[in-house]
Amino acid sequence: MAMAAPTGSAAPVAPALCGHLALLLLLAAPAAHGYSFPQQHTMQYWARRLEQEIDGVMRIFGGVQQLRGIYNENRNLFEVKENVPRKLVEKVAGDIESLLAKKVRALKRLANAAEKFQKAHHWQDNIREEDIEYYDSKADTEYDDPDGEEIEREKSNSLKLEFTEDANFKTKVNYSYAAVQIPTDIYKGSTVILNELNWTQALEDVFIENRKEDPSLLWQVFGSATGVTRYYPATPWRAPNKIDLYDVRRRPWYIQGASSPKDMVIIVDVSGSVSGLTLKLMKTSVYEMLDTLSDDDYVNVASFNEKAKPVSCFKHLVQANIRNKKVFKEDVQGMVAKGTTDYKAGFEYAFDQLQNSNITRANCNKMIMMFTDGGEDRVQDVFEKYNWPNKTVRVFTFSVGQHNYDVTPLQWMACANKGYYFEIPSIGAIRINTQEYLDVLGRPMVLAGNRAKQVQWTNVYQDALGLGLVVTGTLPVFNLTEDSSDRKNQLILGVMGIDVALNDIKRLTPRYNLGANGYVFAIDLNGYVLLHPNLQPQIINFREPVTLDFLDAELEDENKEEIRRSMIDGNDGQRFIKTLIKSLDEQYIDEVFRTYTWAPIKSTNYSLGLVLPPYSTYYIQANLSDQILQVKYFEYLLPNSFESEGHVFIAPREYCKDLDLSDNNTEFLENFIALMEKVTPDSKQCDNFLLHNLILDTGITQQLVERVWKDQDLNTYSLLAVFAATDGGITRVFPNKAADDWEEEPEPFNASFYRRSLDNKGYIFKPPYRDAGYRGLDLENNTIGILVSTAVELSIGGKTLKPAVVGVKLDLEAWAEKFKVLASNRTDRDQLGARRCDPSTSCEMDCEANNKDLICVLIDDGGFLVLSNQEDHWYQVGKFFSEVDANLMSALYNNSFYARKESYDFQSVCAPEAQSNTGAAPRGVFVPTVADILNLAWWTSAAAWSLFQQFLYGLTYSSWFQTEEVAGDSMEARETSCIMKQTQYYFSTVNATYNAIIDCGNCSRLFHAQRLANTNLLFVVADKPLCSQCESIKLLQAEVRAPPRDPNQCELVDRPRYRKGPHICFDYNATEDTSDCGRGASFAPSLGVLLSLQLLLLYSSASQHPLPPAACL
């Protein structure tokens, strides 16, 4: 417990009277050898000496005043331009709208052509594979088996194409053809697939024509309801090393385009008859069903026997976002079969869920999905009570497992409630039958005709063909054929999509004129960011969209909640707010002022925002019309000038189209110089704004070298380097040899010291970050430097801006010695050890003479150690102080010197958690006998095809080949996205001097803490701990993996964030024909694939080790 005696105007932290008395007595009482703890006025004197020393060094070497003068002297070389937020937002929103409108025109042309081609197509019952000419994108794909041997491919009639490397697609393409991808678990020789290939071939001409009109078009894709994908231009399929199970119908963009939003309740029969493999099939089916839902959908999952109950903590429908679906998937694994079946309990629960109007939901396409092994009850009374005669809720029933039950009641339920009946006899039937309900939901859309042809723009997601982050414009394609009775067909043919890379949208946004801390962002109707500097997913996961909420991309507060709501509502606005932000390195929190300006992007679901700090209202635009001066300044970029003028790092920006970028700054500088010898800064292929500003800042920083740095001896003040960094992209480090140890980003806008210096007044200290496990280096051979930086603020014609940051790099060891002297009672004339104290002449301890009894430290505003009088602390400089002295850091936190901010990173990647194996026998998998293998009829049987599907899913879900005793099998044991918990500390509003006692009985410690003016430092003096009885819980700062259910999704869903779904719903049409309402699972086998994989299947079923899972697509 720490009791504090504050001074100044700050309020005390609930001090007890006895605490005050104890503190006063301890402060006054002499310690061993006649020393007493330093008095408050003494420590305030030391603090002033430290402040003066820092300020003096920065005034001499930083050159802030001199740099201001240099800018003013060169006033004729640049203009001060203004960022007008509303005009910027309006222009960028208009540019993005125009970009997307061009893609929409191409999309509509494709969808219309597809409907026309399909309507004109004549179905062929006797069509053969050799009759179809197409490029099979997987024809040349190599697959490896678990032992690393190549699996024999099926024979293919695919066209043989040549490909050319293309910068836009980041891969090799062929612009003369489209490519076809067919999921491995679909037999490409079936009549349905061959007819699909036949009529979609005509799309190639439209693809090519679209590209002629808009050469910037990226992937043009038709995803068919049969599973066939035809995309342009042709390129080989980017498949994983294992069996490729990519299916376009499970892609986020297809799901969004194929149906209106859904309110879904999944009920699972867990009665005693559902055991073993059947229960496992049900769990996997629910898992796959959840993957057919997007963020526009709402869902709940319940299990039932005699009673129904939710499988998770969710008591009502919740948004089908990634985090909620993850909770469902984890909890579904815990379902246990017992009791008897009561369909009535399950259906009444589901209908009650769907009738709850007091919650946020989709209010469209209400449906119940029931998974069961069979039963006799039709629960007609329940349907009469809840659903008839309007039948607003569709019922889909799934008969799961191999059994002999009468399925007529299940078929009746589906048919009587505008749904569909499916059979899932084996693992291989799951994927097909858990996604085909979308065809039923598509019926009202098809019947609505042109009203339902709404272009939708998706969430951000990872492109499966390597483009990186993209959004896709989607448009449903309808079957326009009619039957002999002139009844309209009600089947959706598929979804047409056109990709837009996020990088292409980013190019339309301003960047460098906004300064280091200004940025543009955009969000969709869910509040998810489309553009944001913090949108940086760490994992390539093709199955899940990238859904980062605006309030998770930034530190949430009430102002941002209101801004987000206004943007979702499609309003425009502007607000000046005070808010918290994380530093770029995520170690610090700063309280800053920002102006948020926003407006909708018309004809889309997106809204655009601009964030500007006050000092970025104005910026410099260089105007180097004097070519002689251009050449002069440019020469200071040449390496032969570095020895005398200091080393120059240039920001790796796209100054010119032909400039080769490189992560190695030396190589990048060489590329830049080579290009500048061929072109001028005014060349049309170059960004004149970037180039002129770069060259201007080269000259201005060189003048700083001449006027300030060259005339000073850095060693006198124990400096390793001096430096200046600018908005124009120059970082100049002096002397040249100091560049060898320079570890900061060459792009100032990506350097934490640069961005924090702009947002904070005074001198910002930045020690080298060390994690808890760092053990230090030999200081004699490895010099450690501490950066101290400050922003250069200009006022030109009443316009304030900060175009540069200057600073010094302190030699840690030398400054630690200097720190001890400054925090001591020795004057400049005293010699070390000259003072003597004894019991009769009591005197105060100091940080130099009494470093064995007194700990003196400087800690920065993030809680990281900067300097110490303890030599064994030197290698710990840069560590979070709780790793150095947990007891003292806890006292500082408890006495309100520091506040704490916890947040979550939802974009991290984690290795899969190891699964235990109890050594029990492997899961039972049917293995054919030798007689079966020799029997040709067996190979074309449903058993063979089911077995093949079982094998495919075994590759995807390793748990299928694991032991039964493995609890909670992970469905996807692969590297996956995860949530990391972050904790940052920052100075609270307390700005007083504190004397305090850490009360631990006989082991109490005194400490004093005081902020150093005009810095981000806290000066702390404390007794060394006398014993270990005063240990405190160590405060954690390092990022850690969030524990399960942290953040608590069960609580978050009860206060959902504001969102809007699509404004149009197509879930009803009076002319819908519901007579087609049920069938079982039927699969046409591919003999070639079966033969090639049979030996592997035998091996897999016999092995004690599970096969590795397939890569995520």
**Count of beta carbons in the 10 Å neighbourhood of residue 683:** 16
pLDDT tens digit sequence for 580-596: 999 999 999 999 999 99
**Is the separation of the CB atoms in 551 and 903 below 8 Å?**
no
Written in H, E and C, the secondary structure of 976-1017 is EEEEEEEEEEEECCCCCCEEEEECCHHHCEEEEEEECCCECE
915 vs 332: CA distance, rounded Å:
18
Tokens standing for residue 1024: 């060394």
Q: What is the mean pLDDT of the chain?
A: 85
Q: What does DSSP assign to residue 488?
A: B
- pLDDT tier for residue 624 given thresholds of 50, 70 and 90: confident
481 vs 119: CA distance, rounded Å:
5
Question: Considering only CA atoms, which of 358, 205, 411 is closest in space to residue 1075?
Answer: 411
- pLDDT tier for residue 869 given thresholds of 50, 70 and 90: very high
Mean pLDDT for the stretch of residues 321-349: 94
Tokens standing for residue 184: 């491995």
- pLDDT tier for residue 997 given thresholds of 50, 70 and 90: confident
Placement of tokens 């320079």 in the chain: 742
**Is the separation of the CB atoms in 247 and 1110 below 8 Å?**
no
Q: Can you list the pairs that 90-94 forms with residues at least 24 positions away whose Cβ atoms lie under 8 Å?
A: 90/599, 92/508, 92/509, 92/510, 92/520, 92/608, 92/610, 93/599, 93/600, 93/601, 93/602, 93/608, 94/602
At residue 1004, φ and ψ (nearest 5 deg) are: -65, 150
pLDDT beyond 50 at 286 = yes
Question: Considering only CA atoms, which of 859, 914, 887, 858 is closest in space to residue 1024?
Answer: 887
327 vs 319: CA distance, rounded Å:
12
- pLDDT tier for residue 962 given thresholds of 50, 70 and 90: very low
Mean pLDDT for the stretch of residues 855-873: 94
Question: Considering only CA atoms, which of 945, 979, 1076, 1007 is closest in space to residue 184?
Answer: 945
pLDDT beyond 90 at 307 = yes
What pLDDT score does 197 carry?
96
Lowest mean pLDDT, pick from 417-431, 516-530, 832-846: 832-846
Question: Considering only CA atoms, which of 221, 299, 287 is closest in space to residue 254?
Answer: 221
What pLDDT score does 827 carry?
65
- pLDDT tier for residue 873 given thresholds of 50, 70 and 90: confident
Q: What does DSSP assign to residue 100?
A: H
**Is the separation of the CB atoms in 1029 and 1003 below 8 Å?**
yes
Tokens standing for residue 390: 């309007």
DSSP letters for 1049-1067: HHHHTTSPPP----S----
3-state DSSP assignment of residue 218: coil
Question: Considering only CA atoms, which of 942, 957, 913 is closest in space to residue 283?
Answer: 957
Query: Where in 1031-1101 does DSSP place strands (E)?
Result: 1040-1041
Mean pLDDT for the stretch of residues 545-554: 92
Whether this prediction's pTM lies above 0.75 is answered by yes
pLDDT tens digit sequence for 716-767: 999 999 999 999 999 999 999 999 999 999 999 999 999 999 999 999 999 9
What pLDDT score does 770 carry?
83
pLDDT beyond 80 at 240 = no
Residue 1065, Ramachandran bin (φ over 0: left; ψ between -120 and 50: alpha; else beta): beta
**Torsion of the alpha carbons at 427, 431, 434 and 436, rounded to the nearest 10:** -130
Residues 6+ apart with CB under 8 A from 629: 77, 699
pLDDT beyond 60 at 549 = yes
679 vs 675: CA distance, rounded Å:
6
Question: Considering only CA atoms, which of 49, 50, 48, 58 is closest in space to residue 719?
Answer: 58
Alpha helices in 646-687 (DSSP H): 665-676
- pLDDT tier for residue 1044 given thresholds of 50, 70 and 90: confident
Tokens standing for residue 117: 């081609």
Best-predicted range by mean pLDDT among 433-442, 538-547, 675-684, 950-959? 433-442
pLDDT beyond 80 at 1075 = yes
pLDDT beyond 80 at 36 = yes
Lowest mean pLDDT, pick from 128-137, 605-614, 901-910, 926-935: 926-935
Tokens standing for residue 1020: 């702390």
pLDDT beyond 80 at 1070 = yes
Q: What percent of the chain has pLDDT over 90?
A: 64
pLDDT beyond 50 at 26 = no
Question: In terms of C-beta density within 10 A (0-12 exposed, 13-18 middle, 19 or more buried), how is residue 859 classed?
Answer: buried
Question: Considering only CA atoms, which of 69, 70, 63, 71 is closest in space to residue 789?
Answer: 63
Q: What does DSSP assign to residue 185?
A: T
Written in H, E and C, the secondary structure of 865-930 is EEEECCHHHHHHCCCEHHHCCHHHHHHHHHCCCEEEEEEEEEEEEECCCCCCCCCCCECCCCCCCH
Tokens standing for residue 1028: 């270990």
Residues 6+ apart with CB under 8 A from 600: 93, 567, 570, 571, 572, 606, 607, 608
pLDDT beyond 70 at 1110 = no
pLDDT beyond 50 at 963 = no
